[in-house]
Structure 1
Amino acid sequence: MMNLANRYDFVLIFDVKDGNPNGDPDAGNMPRMDAESGHGLVTDVSLKRKIRNFVGLVKDQDVREPEPGEKRFEIYVREKAILNHQNQRAYAALKLDAVELPDEVSAEDNMFVAAETADAKKKKPAKEKRKGGADDVGSARQWMCQNFFDVRTFGAVMSTKINCGQVRGPVQLTFARSVEPIVALEHSITRMAVATEAEAEKQQGDNRTMGRKHTVPYGVYVAHGFVSSFLAKQTGFGDDDLELVFQALAQMFEHDRSAARGEMSTRGLYVFKHDSELGNAPAHALFDRLQVKPKEEGAVARSFDAYSVLFDDQSLSVGQSVQPAPGVTLTRRC
């Protein structure tokens, strides 16, 4: 594995047809949208979930019952996971005594281990190592980064009860926002069955269950992403991890099909690679030059053919690279 030596920014473009890309449970699972502009939204959490699921598939991990031991591509935030059990594994593997934090953890509570260790260093010889101190938490945090892909990629708060510290990940994503305002449709659906005998008796054998379903007829969404080489050094995130992230962004919707989401597809992944770690151009200045626009203003779009994706009025084919600024290379990955 090679260390990351460059800054990256990227643009993800995807679309949805007759599906709900990201329902809001506080609004009856309606598609998320900006209440003022009507533009559709997909949260960064939703996109990260799809990346996690894709990595689990590619690396052939059993996301329900992982085997003990070190696996570089395990998933920390997985379905039905108990995070304190995940944290405990780090202490068990390192043969350290875990320090439990209170159930209701405040910012001050999170700092008590470090404070105790600082006091102990004043009272005890420097050679003596205090169990459960900052050194142990640091070792546990490093173990979590080494073994869990999503921890070293996105970061995690692991100071719940069993303290493995906190990690800020090198890969960050924004909300995805639709290019145009969306229309959220609501449909009545019927299931020709009921769940209980009591329901069947009420319907005198008709046995139907009515439900509701929300969809977006069509929408194109754009999300922005950032990769910091400085934070990558802290978590051990390397070139192979970054390549896996890009692969996931390109293919994750192909393995996330469901009746609720309809047809969702990645339509473009544009990656800006900087020659330096600090970066050679502001991210917003690069993003502003990549325009996703309808070909015909005011027309009702029902396919991606109704849109154009241009960088400085130039269309890029898959695999094509250009130099938008000194020290920056833009490549269309898919």
Structure 2
Amino acid sequence: MTALANRYDIVFLFDVKNGNPNGDPDAGNLPRIDPETSHGLVSDVSLKRKIRNYTELARGAEAGYRIYVQEGSILNERHREAYKAERPGDDTVEKAPKLNPRNDDEAKALTRFMCENFFDVRTFGAVMSTGINAGQVRGPVQVAFASSVEKILPLEISITRMAATNEKEKAAREKDAGDDRTENRTMGRKHIVPYGLYRAHIFVNAKLAERTGFSDADLKHLFASLKAMFEHDRSAARGEMATRRVVAFKHASALGNAPAHQLFERVKVQRKVGDDLYDVDSAKLDNYPPARAYSDYQVSVDLNGLPDGVEVVEL
């Protein structure tokens, strides 16, 4: 497949309702939050995981769309596949605990094998030098942290259950029957964000795509993943997450025709209160209830005076 020839800069908007979009393991799985601004965060790793999961569901074991970073997989065994392809008939490859390329040509061939066979290597890049060395790749698609457009206030909710785990717990519950105490029924706690609209920026570098073979077909699949990945990621913690809008700025050249930050500034998110519009950081919003739905926002794209060689693609 021909490598991608155009640079893209993408604004990705998604929301969550009564869920935890990305728990922080360093904070008891609370929703990630910027402590200085109280804006919610979703890590790039979390978003890329969802793209990988969607790819597994949508493309399965289709040639060129296998997933390298997969739950339960042993990465070195992925690297070993490349050595088997480059050294057919070499029995030492099968069980060797460490392998290294014999020369630069083989090193390039090993890395090329990984790019051709694994979508996430070709897309996001990977460091593949863990024991069985298949090199490293800088991917053409880079995903930044997502941040909520307004402050969030995570809630902690206790969860109770009716069943007991053993006879001792059952006896304690019967003893407390009619009592207001709930410690014998509490099984844990959940952390949720009542509502949050998040914004992420994604960069697609066409010059790096030349190195990995990332193609127009791969870009089309990436766009499909962004639109549908939350539909296949439902859980008790993420029951209502949805992609709301994907705005892509397509450049006429591989190197680009305008700085990404200037293009991103053209995508504006404002709060709607009745017939009025307010910037999301306006102090006047303190006098109104918090947003609880996507319909509480208006998203606009300024198309006036677009730089030459840049077009907007709505997905």
Q: Output the TM-score relative to the length of structure 1.
A: 0.81
Q: CA deviation at 1:270?
A: 0.2
1:120 aligned residue: none
2:168 aligned residue: 201
2:141 aligned residue: 171
Alignment partners' CA distance in 2, 1:83 and 1:53? 17
Q: CA deviation at 1:193?
A: 3.1
Q: Secondary structure at the match of 1:204?
A: helix
Note if 1:40 corresponds to 2:22: no
Alignment partners' CA distance in 2, 1:269 and 1:165? 33
On the 8 A contact 1:2/1:240 being kept in 2, the answer is no
Root-mean-square deviation (CA, aligned residues, Å) is 2.0
Alignment partners' CA distance in 2, 1:194 and 1:21? 30
- Post-superposition Cα deviations, 1:114-136, rounded to whole Å, max 9, x if no partner, equal xxxxxxxxxxxxxxxxx633332
2:314 aligned residue: 332
* Counterpart selection for 1:80 from 72, 76, 86: 72
Range 233-242 or range 89-98, more displaced? 89-98
2:212 aligned residue: 235
Q: Secondary structure at the match of 1:310?
A: strand
2:298 aligned residue: 308
Q: CA deviation at 1:43?
A: 0.3
Alignment partners' CA distance in 2, 1:281 and 1:134? 36
Task: Mark the CA change 1:159 to 1:74 in structure 2 (over 3 Å): closer, same or farther.
Answer: same
- Post-superposition Cα deviations, 1:136-157, rounded to whole Å, max 9, x if no partner, equal 2221111000000000000001
On the 8 A contact 2:228/2:243 being kept in 1, the answer is yes
On the 8 A contact 1:100/1:163 being kept in 2, the answer is no
Note if 1:278 corresponds to 2:255: yes
Alignment partners' CA distance in 1, 2:78 and 2:185? 43
Range 52-61 or range 92-101, more displaced? 92-101
Q: Output the TM-score relative to the length of structure 2.
A: 0.86
Alignment partners' CA distance in 1, 2:312 and 2:306? 7
Q: CA deviation at 1:13?
A: 0.2
2:49 aligned residue: 49
Aligned sequence identity (%):
55
Q: Secondary structure at the match of 1:210?
A: strand
2:201 aligned residue: 224
Which blocks of at least 5 consecutive residues in structure 1 are unaligned? 62-69, 103-112, 114-130, 315-321
Q: CA deviation at 1:101?
A: 5.4
- Kindly provide the amino acid, as one letter, of the partner of residue 310 in structure 2: V
Range 293-302 or range 159-168, more displaced? 293-302
Matches within 5 A, 1:1-12: 1-12=1-12
Q: CA deviation at 1:94?
A: 2.0
Range 238-247 or range 1-10, more displaced? 1-10
On the 8 A contact 1:15/1:304 being kept in 2, the answer is yes
Range 291-300 or range 256-265, more displaced? 291-300
Matches within 5 A, 1:263-302: 263-296=240-273, 297-298=285-286, 299=288, 300-302=290-292
Q: CA deviation at 1:185?
A: 0.2
Q: How many residues align?
A: 287
On the 8 A contact 1:2/1:239 being kept in 2, the answer is yes
* Counterpart selection for 2:86 from 80, 91, 94: 94
